[in-house]
Amino acid sequence: MSVNRQWILSDAPVERMPVPENFVLNEAPVPVPGPGQALVRTVYISLDPYQWGYKVRGLEKPGDLIHARTVVKVIESNTDAFKVGDFVHCTNGWQEYGLIGEGIPDHPYMKTRVIDPALGPVSTALGVLGMNGLTAYAGLFVQCRPQPGETVVVSAATGGVGQIVGQIARVHGCRAVGIVSTEEKMRVAREEFGYDAVVSHLSDTLDADLEAVCPEGVDVYYENVGGKSFDATARLFNQKARMVICGLIGERPGGSSAKGKEALLARSADLRAAREVEVAELSVGNFVDSHFDEFLERMSEWYRAGKVVYREDIRPGIERAPEYYADMMAGGNLGKTLVKVSDE
């Protein structure tokens, strides 16, 4: 344990999609915990599309550690807040070791917290029982208010967020329709996540395919992608349909960028006005204080009862993180993408 391998942002241009030149592998000394601090070892790194948005928007600068949510294990501690052996959710980024505790700034809403391992495998704190789960829960239930029997369409339906949206819509008594890319994702969406119907945005007949599986129109659209998926769904909106823009990965890089939203809203303005479609924009950080506890209680119950299952795409080795990241951004992941950095 002498070296802390970490990935930092290079000064190469940040374009639409990540390339290997954007990342530099650095070897730093393992930090020494001061009073009130704990030394942690990274176990899982969460790879998420929003993280590219940080770079696109200049929130991360060349030389900065690549930001990421992580599950870490406490290996040395000078504080009662974190005991050796505790698993902790925090934003330790793309590195093998780090410090938490006094004097270490916390993310405004991706808070450092000790994970309760009784709730499920600790990796779920990055997914179904963490930010992805809350994103699904708040966007669907709080912002779209679906009624049992309504048709809910979800894009990127097998991804970290999408897989949960479809399942909790069904738990609520809705009909869930997924939009994904490949045959394999279509199969998993139907067989593992229980979607009532699934279509592929790679199909030349996407509009007709979606119409055929939404005979009663679309009441709720959970948007992760934009692009063709949005256009195919918007045609089918029922009167007073509700849509939440969670992300627009197919429209602009890094998910929910302002320009992507403008473009999407502009080309649907007439249709939305005529059908009185309500559009909400989702920023999960706005729901942490108000809904995290309620979400965790309900989602853990569904998870324990097997009503919500969860698929992870776990890739080994921090040295390959940039490659995994680019693959996830290109749709190569099936489920929530995590890098396994060390054994639990």
Ligand X SMILES: NC(=O)c1ccc[n+]([C@@H]2O[C@H](COP(=O)([O-])OP(=O)(O)OC[C@H]3O[C@@H](n4cnc5c(N)ncnc54)[C@H](OP(=O)(O)O)[C@@H]3O)[C@@H](O)[C@H]2O)c1
In the complex, which residues of this chain contact ligand X (CB under 6 A)?
48-50, 132, 135, 156, 158-162, 180-181, 185, 201, 224-225, 227, 246-250, 255-256, 282-284, 328, 331, 333
Q: How far is CA 203 from CA 76, 186, 208, 222, 291, in A?
A: 53, 12, 10, 20, 37
CA distance 304 to 330: 32
**Amino acid letter, residue 124:** T
Cβ atoms within 10 A of the Cβ of 147, count?
10
Q: Which is nearer to ligand X, 99 or 179 (CB)?
A: 179
The residue count of the chain comes to 344
Extract the tokens encoding 8.
């930092």
DSSP character for 110?
S
Q: Compute the least distance from the CB of residue 286 to ligand X, in Å.
A: 8
Q: Which is nearer to ligand X, 36 or 285 (CB)?
A: 285
Q: Compute the least distance from the CB of residue 118 to ligand X, in Å.
A: 25
Q: Which is nearer to ligand X, 86 or 313 (CB)?
A: 313
DSSP 199-216: EETTSTTHHHHHHHH-TT
CA nearest to 161, candidates 46, 259, 325, 55: 46
**Contact (CB, 8 A) for 157 and 105:** no
Q: For 181-256, where are the E strands, in sequence order?
A: 197-200, 218-223, 237-245
Q: Compute the least distance from the CB of residue 11 to ligand X, in Å.
A: 25
230 three-state secondary structure = helix
43 three-state secondary structure = strand
Packed helices 162-171 and 288-304: angle between N→C axes, nearest 10 degrees = 70
Angle formed at CA 29 by CA 60 and CA 326, multiple of 5 degrees = 40
CA distance 18 to 259: 19
Cα-trace Rg, the chain = 20
Q: Which is nearer to ligand X, 65 or 154 (CB)?
A: 154
Q: Which is nearer to ligand X, 72 or 249 (CB)?
A: 249
**Contact (CB, 8 A) for 254 and 77:** no
35 backbone dihedrals φ, ψ, rounded to 5° = -60, 135
Q: Compute the least distance from the CB of residue 224 to ligand X, in Å.
A: 4
Q: Which is nearer to ligand X, 5 or 311 (CB)?
A: 311
Q: Which is nearer to ligand X, 38 or 176 (CB)?
A: 176
Q: Which is nearer to ligand X, 38 or 225 (CB)?
A: 225
Q: Which is nearer to ligand X, 22 or 77 (CB)?
A: 22
Please compute, for residue 42, the number of CA atoms within 13 A of its CA located in the half-sphere on the CB side.
Answer: 27
